[in-house]
Chain A
């Protein structure tokens, strides 16, 4: 192949695919978010009849172990107030969802979504033999595998690997191909066997910037840059070459994604007022990409700081405010775009916190906890009972889960994304009714 006659990297990719149409095209090329123009966009993919193929799932990670008991407050349980003498949320301030539970007062914006029928609360979510290590438990949630220590790929990555008929390069269907993480890191949840998901903090910094201020020189530098970062088939047995191959694949993915992201985000003109928080900024970026029609169905955003071992009250209130205001602004934006019906959002944290507060005005690592699901097409309400807090109901001082988190995943995969969940989760899990 004569690389030098190819002008743009899109043409380069197109030609590479053309020349290797027998199925030997490097898989990642066919599976970057942005591989080609949208000639084969969303409309091409159908797995389960009756499920629209333009649906989007957004995962909100609440890192550090969110105190579920103070997010969804069991205000009717005396045990709660006995265990939380300082941190307990007073019953009269709770935003009641029913006779027994209610939202923390700082989640008033979410109460609005709940009342409008756009929110579900799933209670008592966890997994058997809960692990109280942040890192292990986060790994379990992200891989969807509490048993194995060797699962390399994420549950969303496996969805991307398994779900789409468009994955066959011969069919030239490019969607859905990879997930997008908003932020500078790449969560294990998005790691897949065949594809490379995309991480980006902001479209502005998401491109190679030549330092020459003359357009002509800059163009020459850019062409050379692309050639220097081109993937060549090399001896992957050599550890150094394997590293270079990894780097050049990421570089190629970045360049292709960069073009596509710039193209789609230009179309966004702003629909809602977002607060100044980190979560809101991330969600607005997602809103831009959805508005522009980026060909991905999976977005990942995250917040941190939930590890409230000491002085929890103020810190946790600020985090819940950030969550509530960010999610509400985002849904407002989606409604104005007319895209709210395409989007479902799920929150999770690696674990809840100990029922009894500690002596530092905080709480230690716990296990089971509630999570939220948002969307205008979901079946709203509260799913599952609040786990009991009496001494006999607890496991080492922690609430016992009754709903396996993989049931939530299976529900989302099958009933929202229209993908078979068994190959992704390794077993069949009972589906819930929220969608």
Chain B
């Protein structure tokens, strides 16, 4: 299926030209990695048999798949700040603690959902939008608001961009995070207006400081009461504003409409989507073409992503196994491949130690991704985390001492016993070095390993006790540069 608008007269080949080459397990695994958190052997087999079109459609049309996951329990918070002020110090502390605890619950709940969902693309996109509209619970503090935002992003993950921008501009967590709840006519607070343009839609260099000031005025009075969005009329600036070359008594929605008319907005979003799903730093010509497609489609992300996941470029050598796994991708994939039962809160700790603390992005820019995930510290941490995941023992911070009471003390409260890898392969496989290596490489790496690498792993098994082999070989495979890619 090609979307009409991708066909340009006389163009040699459109970026979104559908892939017509042979379909294989390798490409099926690639699709499941990028549109989800990696497939188990059975999932890969299934997608390989179903073919490209059906596999992509099954991922994109996730609303056809029944999924009823009960939401996490949320604390009852006072309806507004005035009620909080009336509380005693002790009650305030209790309120703060219960929210902090609930935020950890929500994060654990989300990770559990990512691990077990039948709609992997929906959760993958929720992570994408969480990084895009980055909002930290450190500042928001209110667990109900953090959950509401998470659910908003999930429900609108393939909606139109207008709906997303209008919704996020009314989202209590965002209003709080970027201080729009205190953006008043008398003293506009520019924080939200600036980031809306710089990070959420247009990119820096496409607007002036005066545009920031005008947009801030348009959003004055936009705040929330309890869990609900509210506009305080007397705080809202009804005066004329000059914004991106237009004049009028604009409010927030007008600002969003004008932003959507800017070609730079389509380029910004096309590039961001492409970098997340296909490869970093796409060629300008690709971005241009995708941007045109996105605008003609009125910023509807569903047909856009469907075409992208079916495209030639998505299955090109530049895309295949060239993406550095995010910590979420690495940890969730590893847990699924290893079949470990690790408490989701411990997995959140693991991701935090690798540089991706879900619900606590480092700043409003979210996570830069790509090669910035990797430095000397984080790479060793990834390798060590693989070992901890095999053992089911996640440290609360840094590293675990080899033995003794200090090890127990530094172990995450939520750690669980180690995995039993043998359960996937029958009892005898550990005795057969080459068989064990091939099985673990296929399961974990999902791509061929070099002949030299395979030989090194086999040689290792020959010098190691049979009982030690499965877990230590798994750790070694996961301590390879190859395992960092998907």
A residues lining the B interface (CB < 8 Å): 63, 131-136, 149, 181, 183-186, 196, 198-202, 204-214, 217, 220-221, 224-225, 227-229, 232, 238-240, 243-244, 246-248, 250-251, 253-254, 257-258, 304, 309-310, 356, 358-360, 362, 364-365, 396
CA distance A136 to B204 in the complex (A): 8
Q: Are B379 and A364 closer than 8 Å at their CB atoms?
A: no
Point out the residues of chain A lying under 8 angstroms from B274, CB to CB.
none
- Knowing A205-B399, A224-B456, A359-B189, say if A185 contacts B322 (CB, 8 Å): no
- Knowing A184-B355, A225-B479, say if A199 contacts B375 (CB, 8 Å): yes
Interface residues on B, range: 35 or more
Which one of B194, B317, B457, B479 contacts A208 once the chains associate, using CB atoms below 8 Å?
A: B479
Q: Are B398 and A211 closer than 8 Å at their CB atoms?
A: no
Point out the residues of chain A lying under 8 angstroms from B481, CB to CB.
229, 243-244, 247-248, 251
Q: Are A211 and B471 closer than 8 Å at their CB atoms?
A: yes
Q: Which 5 pairs from chain A and chain B are nearest by CB?
A: A360-B182, A247-B481, A359-B187, A205-B399, A254-B376
CA distance A364 to B383 in the complex (A): 41
21 contacts between A and B (CB under 8 A): A132-B209, A183-B377, A184-B355, A184-B375, A186-B372, A198-B376, A199-B375, A205-B399, A210-B472, A217-B472, A220-B463, A240-B321, A240-B485, A243-B322, A244-B482, A246-B371, A250-B379, A258-B380, A309-B178, A309-B189, A360-B182
Residue in A closest to B484 when the chains form the complex, CB atoms: A247
CA distance A153 to B318 in the complex (A): 25
CA distance A362 to B190 in the complex (A): 12
Point out the residues of chain A lying under 8 angstroms from B452, CB to CB.
232
| Residue B186, interface by CB 8 Å | yes
Query: Which parts of B359-408 form the interface with A (CB within 8 Å)?
Result: 362-365, 371-372, 374-381, 383-384, 387, 390-391, 398-400, 402-403
CA distance A213 to B418 in the complex (A): 14
Q: Are A211 and B475 closer than 8 Å at their CB atoms?
A: yes
CA distance A345 to B284 in the complex (A): 42
CA distance A184 to B351 in the complex (A): 13
CA distance A356 to B187 in the complex (A): 10
Point out the residues of chain B lying under 8 angstroms from A202, CB to CB.
398-399
Which one of B355, B363, B376, B391 contacts A211 once the chains associate, using CB atoms below 8 Å?
A: B391
Q: Are A204 and B398 closer than 8 Å at their CB atoms?
A: yes
CA distance A356 to B481 in the complex (A): 51
Query: Which parts of B217-253 form the interface with A (CB within 8 Å)?
Result: none
Q: Are B402 and A213 closer than 8 Å at their CB atoms?
A: yes
Point out the residues of chain A lying under 8 angstroms from B343, CB to CB.
none
Q: Are B204 and A133 closer than 8 Å at their CB atoms?
A: yes
- Interface flags for B470-486 (1: CB within 8 Å of A; 0: not) read 01100110011110110
Point out the residues of chain A lying under 8 angstroms from B485, CB to CB.
240, 243-244, 247
Q: Are A364 and B191 closer than 8 Å at their CB atoms?
A: yes
- Interface flags for B22-33 (1: CB within 8 Å of A; 0: not) read 000000000000
| Residue B414, interface by CB 8 Å | no
Distance (Å) between the CB of B319 and the closest chain A CB? 8
Q: Are A185 and B355 closer than 8 Å at their CB atoms?
A: yes
Q: Are A240 and B320 closer than 8 Å at their CB atoms?
A: yes
- Knowing A221-B460, A224-B456, A229-B481, say if A134 contacts B363 (CB, 8 Å): yes
Distance (Å) between the CB of B475 and the closest chain A CB? 5
Distance (Å) between the CB of B438 and the closest chain A CB? 16
| Residue B453, interface by CB 8 Å | yes
CA distance A204 to B279 in the complex (A): 34
Point out the residues of chain A lying under 8 angstroms from B465, CB to CB.
217
CA distance A244 to B184 in the complex (A): 51
Distance (Å) between the CB of A323 and the closest chain B CB? 19
- Interface flags for B164-190 (1: CB within 8 Å of A; 0: not) read 000000000000001100111011111
Q: Are A228 and B456 closer than 8 Å at their CB atoms?
A: yes
Q: Are A250 and B374 closer than 8 Å at their CB atoms?
A: yes
Q: Are B398 and A201 closer than 8 Å at their CB atoms?
A: yes
CA distance A341 to B468 in the complex (A): 52
Distance (Å) between the CB of A115 and the closest chain B CB? 36
CA distance A220 to B476 in the complex (A): 11
Q: Are A221 and B376 closer than 8 Å at their CB atoms?
A: no
By CB atoms of chain B within 10 A, which of A220, A246, A253 has the most? A220
| Residue B411, interface by CB 8 Å | no
Residue in B closest to A204 when the chains form the complex, CB atoms: B399
CA distance A310 to B468 in the complex (A): 55
CA distance A211 to B362 in the complex (A): 31
Q: Are B374 and A206 closer than 8 Å at their CB atoms?
A: no
Q: Are A240 and B322 closer than 8 Å at their CB atoms?
A: yes
- Knowing A208-B479, A209-B399, say if A253 contacts B460 (CB, 8 Å): no
Point out the residues of chain A lying under 8 angstroms from B468, CB to CB.
212, 214, 217
Which one of B355, B364, B378, B480 contacts A228 once the chains associate, using CB atoms below 8 Å?
A: B480
- Interface flags for B426-440 (1: CB within 8 Å of A; 0: not) read 000000000000000
Point out the residues of chain B lying under 8 angstroms from A184, CB to CB.
355, 375, 377-378, 381
CA distance A210 to B475 in the complex (A): 8
Point out the residues of chain A lying under 8 angstroms from B475, CB to CB.
210-211, 221
CA distance A396 to B208 in the complex (A): 13
Residue in B closest to A211 when the chains form the complex, CB atoms: B387
| Residue B324, interface by CB 8 Å | yes
Residue in B closest to A253 when the chains form the complex, CB atoms: B376
Residue in B closest to A202 when the chains form the complex, CB atoms: B398
- Knowing A210-B387, A210-B472, A228-B453, say if A239 contacts B375 (CB, 8 Å): no
Point out the residues of chain B lying under 8 angstroms from A210, CB to CB.
387, 472, 475
- Interface flags for B452-466 (1: CB within 8 Å of A; 0: not) read 110011011001110
| Residue B105, interface by CB 8 Å | no
Q: Are A133 and B198 closer than 8 Å at their CB atoms?
A: yes
CA distance A134 to B366 in the complex (A): 13
CA distance A251 to B374 in the complex (A): 10
Which one of A136, A199, A229, A238 contacts B480 once the chains associate, using CB atoms below 8 Å?
A: A229
Query: Which parts of B27-74 form the interface with A (CB within 8 Å)?
Result: none
Q: Are A359 and B457 closer than 8 Å at their CB atoms?
A: no
Which one of B204, B324, B375, B380 contacts A207 once the chains associate, using CB atoms below 8 Å?
A: B380
Distance (Å) between the CB of B185 and the closest chain A CB? 9
CA distance A360 to B188 in the complex (A): 9
Q: Are A217 and B464 closer than 8 Å at their CB atoms?
A: yes
Residue in B closest to A249 when the chains form the complex, CB atoms: B481
Residue in B closest to A134 when the chains form the complex, CB atoms: B363
Distance (Å) between the CB of B303 and the closest chain A CB? 28
Point out the residues of chain B lying under 8 angstroms from A206, CB to CB.
376-377, 380
Which one of B321, B322, B398, B457 contacts A224 once the chains associate, using CB atoms below 8 Å?
A: B457
Distance (Å) between the CB of A209 and the closest chain B CB? 5
Query: Which parts of B308-355 form the interface with A (CB within 8 Å)?
Result: 317-318, 320-322, 324, 355
Distance (Å) between the CB of A233 and the closest chain B CB? 13
CA distance A211 to B363 in the complex (A): 35
CA distance A199 to B374 in the complex (A): 10
Point out the residues of chain B lying under 8 angstroms from A212, CB to CB.
468, 472
Point out the residues of chain B lying under 8 angstroms from A131, CB to CB.
204
Residue in A closest to B381 when the chains form the complex, CB atoms: A205
Distance (Å) between the CB of B232 and the closest chain A CB? 12
Distance (Å) between the CB of A177 and the closest chain B CB? 14
CA distance A298 to B476 in the complex (A): 34
CA distance A235 to B172 in the complex (A): 51
Residue in B closest to A186 when the chains form the complex, CB atoms: B375
Point out the residues of chain A lying under 8 angstroms from B186, CB to CB.
359
Point out the residues of chain B lying under 8 angstroms from A221, CB to CB.
460, 464, 472, 475-476
Q: Are A360 and B179 closer than 8 Å at their CB atoms?
A: yes
